[in-house]
Structure 1
Amino acid sequence: MTMPSDSSFRAHLPDLNTDRFTAMREQDCYQYAVAFKEKKNPPWLHALYEHWQGLLSEPFKGITANGRLQPDLFKLEDQGIPIEHIVQAAKLVTFLANKRQRQTLSYHIDSPEWRTWSNPEFLISDKGIRLDDSDVTLDLREAIINVLRVTLSPEGFEKAIGATRINGFLGDLVQAPGIMNEFSYNFVLFGSEPSTTRPWGFSFYGHHLCFNVFFYKQQMVLSPWFTGAEPNIIDSGPYKGTRILHTEEALGLQLMQSLPQDVQSRVQTYKHMKDAAMPYGRWNHDDQRHLCGAYRDNRIVPYEGVPVSEFTQDQRDLVDKVLHQYLLYLPEKARFIRLAHIKSLYHETYFSWIGGFANEDAFYYRLQSPVVIIEFDHHSGVFLTNEEPAKFHIHTLLRTPNGGDYGMALRPLIPGAEQNFQWKQR
């Protein structure tokens, strides 16, 4: 299997003298967001933003295959996460934040603001602490990064930091570091306070990297998350050699190529990345082939493709490897438990594909079951100029269907707080 040239994206660098880039060069993220909302430009993204607001007005239900929630899929369990260290790290953030920052940092555990994360570079929902704000001290910024460090696995944290560094690299490429840089992300807490015994969580989101993490005791739900990169490699500067999402790409392609031709034809739902046979809405300018991105909390996503229970053992082993990469952010024990849960439902897990599957082809794939959806998509350029999907612009995401996102399916299972109260004069 061949890999594209490390610098193949440079053939698609934009003209920085156009109005778009000369304006971005002078803007920070807030000015950029205001201009987007007032000028409604680009119109296709602004139309999607307006559509998102309508989706947010609906009560949370969860992604389903047919509009009906499948019950009894999730349970409370000890996943062995280092909750004491995570709580300690999050409390340091609240301690270091100034008065203004604390006023926007925390939301109710059931706040609909959980659902307002998004992955474009536009700061659509400004809440929490923006890491690149001028009043964010180095200590506070490092404290927030440390929350990620102690929450994620070591290899998951390395991948996340790789995504932030690539975002900074892209900002430098298009000379817009005020909008895209290594720290152009927001951090938000949910719950009365970080706790080892009561539910709480956090959201960390910005361009090409979004996490939503729910905690209850030693259990965590990291879903939904989004990770992307344009380009997916840094070819110069202090972080030269940083590359992400290539393993997910290679394993997905290896799985598809391992299938016999008759199975491939059933897995491949569309032959072309933008196929004339696609129904209305199956492709859009921004999500492209993704179905389960930002604000799509209640989408109905029918199963497509072939159940992995039809695969050989070697092919199911490749499915395991793909899923391992998508669960990489989880600490090791939590990852093992999550993977075992997913594997127990392989008879209801479907693999589908869009595009070609030769070594050089761009493609999309999805694995979907009652308890997980993962999507991988090669995209056309947003800042780079490639009009067709290319292997150096990748979007990936993970969702937990049937109400599992944001830990919603676990919340009714959590015992309520002590209700008894009697006032006593001191």
Structure 2
Amino acid sequence: MAQSAARFLETLDYSQKLQATFSYEDPERINWHFIPRERKGVGLWDLKGAAFDSANALVASGLTAAGYQTVLQVRSLEEVLYLFEGGDEAERRTKRHPHKYYISIFGNPAGKSVWGWRFEGHHLSLNFSIKNGKIISSTPEFIGANPGQIDAGPGRILRVLGKREDVARQLLKAAPDDQQSKLWLSKEAPNDIRGGGIAQPVVDDAKGVRYADMTPEQQKLLKDLLAEYLTAMPATVVKQRMQQINKGGMDDVHFAWWGGSELNEPHHYVVQGPTFIIEYNNTQNSANHVHAIWRNLAGDFNLPATE
């Protein structure tokens, strides 16, 4: 990451570098959100040639190949939204564009003190802090998708985050009858995830059914669901998160569901353990608009959860 960030900064001209760089303590570092809005940082659409290539290389450095492919797919959905919403070419740049995503560098990647970087735009917010060559924070990690599903006929269906929905629904349906009321909390789903744009997770006591109280089939599905979320992150992040989960105790990881149980019905679920929370929502646009986030209960942005 440090090498990629340094190469990226070397390709920028003076004004672009001013846009892209902040001190690590700058409040902008925690000014995150996944909505379409004006952002600080340098936009991909203002970069060309080596600068554009090095920007994408930096993003790829924080992801697996599968994770980077997901990010490209999320960005490509902006073209679909532009076609749905209409508008002339002049509006396209200010409304929906797959390059309307921004990179910000916080601190000095070449130095020995802590530094960080962010890649953000509509339905994406990736945030990293690094110290002494090690990732010390990788949250909040937000990935969304609108449309959640594009159906162009047999063999031409795209569901960017479909597996995050399908495995969770299998887990819901695998619940024994005597467990349903504890796991399935309501037939009405909340209208979004909590804490969008807020620096630290918004949580309450864990709800739903504990891993320890699940059937073997459910336990496997819950592990599969965690694996699906972790598939986007590099091995070092996966190792750190799993160490934290195991230290907190897998037995105390809870799963809870709200909303309908079938495809295209508004729904919401939460996976919460002592150290992390995943929150997923698909209620907007007739349940075809996904928001999903992983947060660290000890604190996002390498900050205590109280800040």
Q: Sort the TM-score into its range (normalised by shorter chain).
A: 0.7 to 0.9
Distance in 2, matches of 1:409 and 1:327, equals 23
The answer to which of 367-376 and 336-345 deviates more is 336-345
Residue 137 (structure 1) aligned with residue 48 (structure 2): yes
Percent of aligned positions with the same letter in both sequences? 24
**C-alpha contact 2:250 2:273 (8 A) present in aligned 1:** yes
Q: What is residue 80 of structure 2 aligned with on the other side? A: 169
Distance in 2, matches of 1:296 and 1:269, equals 27
Q: What is residue 291 of structure 2 aligned with on the other side? A: 395
Counterparts in 2 of 1:117 and 1:334: CA distance versus 1, 3 Å: closer
List aligned pairs for 1:128-277, cutoff 5 A: 128-133=41-46, 136-176=47-87, 177-178=92-93, 179-191=95-107, 193-195=108-110, 197-216=112-131, 217-234=133-150, 242-273=158-189
Distance in 2, matches of 1:295 and 1:357, equals 29
Count residues in correspondence.
Answer: 295
TM-score, with structure 1 as normaliser: 0.65
Please, which of 219, 233, 238 is the counterpart of residue 335 of structure 1?
238
Task: Say which SS state the counterpart of residue 298 (structure 2) adopts.
Answer: coil
Q: What is residue 18 of structure 1 aligned with on the other side? A: none
Name the Cα RMSD after superposition: 2.2
Q: What is residue 376 of structure 1 aligned with on the other side? A: 280
The answer to which of 329-338 and 360-369 deviates more is 329-338
The answer to which of 226-235 and 303-312 deviates more is 226-235
Q: What is residue 350 of structure 1 aligned with on the other side? A: 254
The structure with the larger Rg is 1
Query: Relative contact order (alpha carbons < 8 A, sep ≥ 6): 1 or 2 greater?
Result: 1
Q: What is residue 8 of structure 2 aligned with on the other side? A: 93
Distance in 2, matches of 1:333 and 1:313, equals 28
Counterparts in 2 of 1:245 and 1:296: CA distance versus 1, 3 Å: same
**C-alpha contact 1:255 1:319 (8 A) present in aligned 2:** yes
Please, which of 371, 381, 406 is the counterpart of residue 301 of structure 2?
406
Distance in 2, matches of 1:235 and 1:360, equals 13
Distance in 1, matches of 2:160 and 2:65, equals 15
Q: What is residue 217 of structure 2 aligned with on the other side? A: 314
Please, which of 116, 129, 132 is the counterpart of residue 31 of structure 2?
116
Report the Cα offset of residue 359 of structure 1.
4.9
**Aligned AA for 1:299?**
V
Structure 1 portions without partners, runs of 5+: 1-85, 274-282, 382-388, 411-426
Distance in 1, matches of 2:223 and 2:112, equals 32
Structure 2 portions without partners, runs of 5+: none
Distance in 2, matches of 1:307 and 1:406, equals 28
The answer to which of 227-236 and 242-251 deviates more is 227-236
Task: Say which SS state the counterpart of residue 132 (structure 1) adopts.
Answer: helix
What whole-Å deviation, never above 9, does each CA across 1:273-309 have from its counterpart, x for those lacking one? Answer: 2xxxxxxxxx5xxxx2311322252534232222222
